[in-house]
Amino acid sequence: METALIIIGTLIGTFLLLNIYARIKMKKTPLVADHNEILTLSFKNFQQQTKGKVVLVDFWAEWCAPCRMMAPVLNEIADELTGNMKIGKINIEQQKTLAQQFKVRSIPTLILFKNGKEVKRFVGIKQKDFLLKEIQNA
**Active-site residue numbers?**
64, 67
User: 42 — phi, psi (to 5°)?
Assistant: -140, 175
**Could you tell me the sign of the dihedral formed by the alpha carbons of 77, 63, 108, 115, in that order?**
negative
Tell me the residue type at 7.
I
SS3 102: coil
User: What is the Cα–Cα distance from 112 to 138, expressed in whole angstroms?
Assistant: 8
Beta bridge partner(s), residue 89: 40, 58
